[in-house]
């Protein structure tokens, strides 16, 4: 409470004290924030990856705070160098029953890989996840679907490393293992199932759009882009850029505006999966011109072809092996892969960590190629 004389004087001599106070407070706050930024650094500073000529907007900005934060799953990748086979060692295919893949490994390397797969895919359940609760004498049986699926996934991993080197190892040797997708989970995150139609009251084109779904990246764009382009070998393309062309939308080889929207849905998905924007692959002055794209465009194109093969040759054919709870909730379809299943929001899975170095058994569909003992010793010395 102020004294009465002050209130009387103030009422007779009004003065605006709030405006100056607000101004002084704002200036003081700005000075304080500037001082903190100088002292501790800009928390939202960005760094840009230039993907084309300057002045064209072809840069991919990333928050430096994000760049400094490694993928937490990197810490779960462990070193486990292979045992260099000695001449005359007995092979797993001769020791154990029903070894349909990896039979040409030595006993030590076979069990080394089996232990690693358990850690990568079923760390809580252990060997029983694929082999059941019986003793070692039952391990040759194919009673559980998990073992049948795991066998096919080994073949898929080998095929990826061997046949898709241009995508997987575009910049350096990286490779893939079971951990690339599974990350210690029985079922990898970011798999997908068919969800269309999303509008039950309509048929055709109207039934696959105008619903914000995870598959459409929470937009009203078509929700069947992954199904069309990563499973059904749809041709990615947009409508003709010229007007009054002699084309008919009824021609299946003519891209329509529907195809353009579906393409945009896929591109949104790819951007979010890799944590990049459009100019990571495209030239901003001519998105449509394949002659002006960046090198990453070719890498991504190979990735799309790789995912198509993964889904059609390996994942979808396993549908009858899965129990009902592992199938899609709407169409009871098999789980499928896409870009984010491996990338998890990074330009390279596990930020480009070389995960295949210790696992030559997964690098080829043929007999593994192990490093010579002398080369292995030299590599060890170089890393120290």
The first and second tokens of residue 4, run together, are: 């009465």
Known binder of ligand: residue 167?
A: yes
State the Cα–Cα distance between residues 191 and 289, nearest whole angstrom. Answer: 31
Burial of 64 (0-12, 13-18, 19+ CB in 10 A): middle
State the Cα–Cα distance between residues 77 and 121, nearest whole angstrom. Answer: 13
Known binder of ligand: residue 331?
A: no
Known binder of ligand: residue 181?
A: yes
Known binder of ligand: residue 156?
A: no
Q: Are 23 and 31 in contact (CB under 8 A)?
A: no
Known binder of ligand: residue 127?
A: yes
The first and second tokens of residue 33, run together, are: 């924030």
- Check whether the bond before 197 is cis (ω within 30° of 0): yes
Written in H, E and C, the secondary structure of the chain is CCCHHHHHHHHHCCCCCHHHHHHHHHHHHHHHHHHHHHHHCCCCCEEEEECCCCCCCCEEEEEHHHHCCCCHHHHHCCCCCCCCCCCCCCEHHHHCCCCCCCCCCEHHHHHHHHHHHHHHHCCCCCCHHHHCCCCHHHCCCCCCHHHHHHHHHHHHHHHHHHHCHHHHCCCCCCCCCHHHHHCCCCCCCCCECCCCCCCCCCCHHHHHCCCCCCCCCCCCCCCCHHHHHHCCCCCCCCCCCCCCCCCCCCCCCCCCHHHHHHHHHHHHHHHHHHCCCHHHCCCCCCCCCHHHCCHHHHHHHHHHHHHHHHHHHHHHHHHHHCCHHHCCCCCCCCCECCHHHHHCCCCCHHHHCCCCCCCHHHCCCCCCCCCCHHHHHHHHHHHC
State the Cα–Cα distance between residues 221 and 249, nearest whole angstrom. Answer: 19
Known binder of ligand: residue 36?
A: no
Known binder of ligand: residue 202?
A: no
Strand partners of residue 48: 61
Annotated binding site: 114, 127, 130-131, 153, 167, 178, 181-182, 267, 278, 281-282, 339, 342-343
Annotated binding site for heme: 114, 127, 130-131, 153, 167, 178, 181-182, 267, 278, 281-282, 339, 342-343
């Amino acid at each position: 409470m102020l004294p009465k004389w002050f209130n009387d004087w103030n009422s007779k001599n009004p003065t605006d004290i709030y405006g100056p106070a607000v101004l002084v407070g704002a200036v003081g706050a700005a000075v304080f924030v500037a001082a903190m930024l100088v002292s501790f650094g800009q928390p939202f500073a960005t760094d840009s990856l230039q993907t084309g000529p300057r002045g064209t907007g072809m840069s991919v900005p990333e928050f430096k705070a994000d760049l400094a934060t490694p993928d937490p799953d990197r810490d779960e990748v462990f070193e486990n160098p292979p045992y260099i086979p000695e001449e005359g060692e007995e092979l797993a295919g001769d020791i154990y029953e029903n070894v349909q893949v990896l039979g040409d490994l030595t006993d030590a390397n076979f069990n080394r890989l089996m232990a690693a797969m358990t850690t990568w895919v079923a760390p809580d359940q252990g060997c029983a996840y694929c082999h059941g609760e019986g003793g070692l004498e039952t391990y040759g049986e194919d009673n559980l679907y998990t073992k049948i699926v795991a066998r096919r996934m080994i073949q898929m991993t080998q095929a990826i490393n061997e046949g898709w080197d241009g995508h997987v190892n575009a910049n350096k040797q990286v490779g893939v293992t079971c951990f690339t997708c599974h990350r210690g989970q029985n079922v990898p995150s970011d798999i997908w199932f068919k969800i269309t139609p999303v509008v039950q009251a309509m048929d055709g084109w109207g039934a696959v759009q105008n619903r914000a779904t995870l598959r459409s990246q929470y937009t009203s764009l078509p929700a069947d882009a992954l199904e069309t382009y990563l499973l059904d070998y749809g041709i990615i393309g947009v409508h003709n850029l010229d007007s009054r062309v002699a084309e008919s939308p009824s021609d299946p080889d003519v891209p329509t505006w529907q195809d353009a929207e579906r393409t945009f849905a896929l591109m949104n998905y790819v951007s979010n999966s890799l944590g990049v924007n459009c100019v990571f692959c495209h030239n901003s002055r001519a998105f449509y011109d394949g002659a002006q794209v960046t090198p990453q465009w070719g890498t991504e194109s190979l990735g799309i072809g790789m995912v198509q093969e993964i889904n059609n040759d390996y994942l979808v054919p396993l549908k009858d092996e899965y129990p009902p709870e592992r199938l899609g909730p709407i169409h009871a379809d098999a789980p499928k892969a896409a870009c984010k299943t491996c990338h998890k929001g990074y330009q390279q899975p596990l930020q480009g960590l070389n995960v295949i170095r210790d696992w030559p058994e997964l690098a080829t569909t043929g007999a593994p190629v192990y490093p010579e003992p002398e080369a292995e010793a030299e590599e060890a010395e170089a890393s120290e």
